[in-house]
Amino acid sequence: MLNFDCLSSCRLSPKIAILSLSVGAVALIIPIWPTAIAKANPPEEFSVAQQQTGERAIIVEEVKGTVTYGPSMQAVTVGQRLRAGEDELRTGQNSTVRLYIDNHIGSLEVAENTTLKIKTLSKEKTSLFVWQGRVRASIGKTIRTRNSQKQESKGENEKYLIAQRNSSRGNYPIDIQTPAGIAGVQGTCFGVNVGPTGKTGISTLEGSVVAIAQGQEIVVNKGQYVVIEPGKAPTKPEKAPTRAAFRLLSVRKIGDNGIRIIGQASPHELVYVNGIAVETDIEGKFSIIIPRPLNRRVRFVLRGPIVTETYYEIAVL
C-alpha cells in the first residue's frame, strides 16, 4: 500500500517578515499563516477493463481557486480524468490543485501560477512537463530504482529525461521534464521549481532524486537541493535551508512612478514580486523595476520546491 501522506502531512509554519531597507522605504512586520492543502483519499481502483486496455488518466482530487485545462481554458472539477496530449493545466493566482497518478504511482500538488502538461500516459510510460511554477510529488515506494535514461531534443532546447522501473510491471518509466533538466525518483517526496527563464530547483524531502542535465547526473539526497540553469549541468547538492534566506539589498525610486528592487533569495526558490514571477540568477539574486503601487505596498513571496513558503511585505514612499 502506498503512502500518500508525505506531502499532505507537511505543515507550513507562520513566518514573520522583518526587513531592513534603504532610503525611500520603511519596514513592516507582517505575520503570515499559509494554509496547507487538505488531505484527500486516493480515488477508487480502476476497473479491470481499464487496466487491461492500458487506459490511463491523472485524476483531479482537490481544487482551490481557478484551475483550467485545455485550449478552451475550461475549469477542472474534482474527479475529472485528465488525458495526455497537447493540453496544458494552469493554476491561477491563489489557486492550487492536487492530482492523483493512476495505478498507485503517486500524487502531485500543483502550486499557484504553474503550467503543467501531461505529455504521455501509456502502459509503458508516464511523462509530464512543467513549464513554470512549482510541482510537489509523492511517488510510491513500489516504484523502484531508476533503470534507464533517455535524452531527446526539441529544436535547440535539449530536455533530459530520467526514468524509473516498476519491478512488478517491468519497464514503466516516469519522467518529469523542465526546460533545464529533470528529476527522477526512487520512492520519494520531492519538489520541482521552474522559474520564468527555465531555471530549475529540485529539492528532496524523503528518499533520493537524480538530476540530469548536459549529460551529468547528480544525486540529491534527503534534505538537499540542486539548481539547473538551461544549457548547464546541475550544481553540487547543498543542504536545503529550513527557512527562507531572503535579503532585500536595495529599494530605489526610478522616475516618477517606478521602483527598482534588488534582492537575493535561496538559489532554488521561486520569487514573486506583487504576483509577478521574477528571474533570479544562479546565486538567487534578482533586480526588477515595477510600477509604484497605488497602495505603496510591495509583496514578496518566496516559494521553495517542497514546503518552504514565506511572505514579506514592505511599504514604499
CA distance 120 to 16: 42
Whether residue 244 is predicted with pLDDT greater than 80 in this model: the reply is no
Comparing 62 with 181, the larger pLDDT belongs to 62
Residue 103, pLDDT score: 77
Residue range 138-162: average pLDDT?
Answer: 44
pTM of the model: 0.74
Whether residue 238 is predicted with pLDDT greater than 60 in this model: the reply is yes
276: number of Cβ within 10 Å: 11
Residue 219, pLDDT score: 92
Dihedral-angle region of residue 154 (phi above 0 means left; psi in -120 to 50 means alpha; beta otherwise) = beta
- pLDDT grade for 164, boundaries at 50, 70 and 90: very low
- pLDDT grade for 185, boundaries at 50, 70 and 90: low
For 117-121, 159-163, 259-263, 276-280, which range has the lowest pLDDT when averaged over its residues?
Answer: 159-163
CA distance 195 to 279: 7
- pLDDT grade for 6, boundaries at 50, 70 and 90: low
Whether residue 263 is predicted with pLDDT greater than 70 in this model: the reply is yes
CA distance 64 to 16: 25
Q: Which residues partner with 175 through β-bridges?
A: 127
Comparing 302 with 171, the larger pLDDT belongs to 302
Whether residue 171 is predicted with pLDDT greater than 60 in this model: the reply is no
Mean of per-residue pLDDT scores for the chain: 77
Read off the amino acid at residue 185.
V
| Contact predicate 180/160, CB 8 Å | no
- pLDDT grade for 168, boundaries at 50, 70 and 90: very low
- pLDDT grade for 237, boundaries at 50, 70 and 90: very high
| Contact predicate 190/204, CB 8 Å | yes
Residue 304 has φ and ψ, to the nearest 5°, of -80, 165
Q: With pLDDT > 70 as the criterion, what percentage of the chain qualifies?
A: 70
Q: Which residues partner with 60 through β-bridges?
A: 99
Q: How far separated are the first and last CA of the chain, in Å rounded?
A: 57
Whether residue 47 is predicted with pLDDT greater than 70 in this model: the reply is no
CA distance 135 to 39: 16
Whether residue 16 is predicted with pLDDT greater than 60 in this model: the reply is no
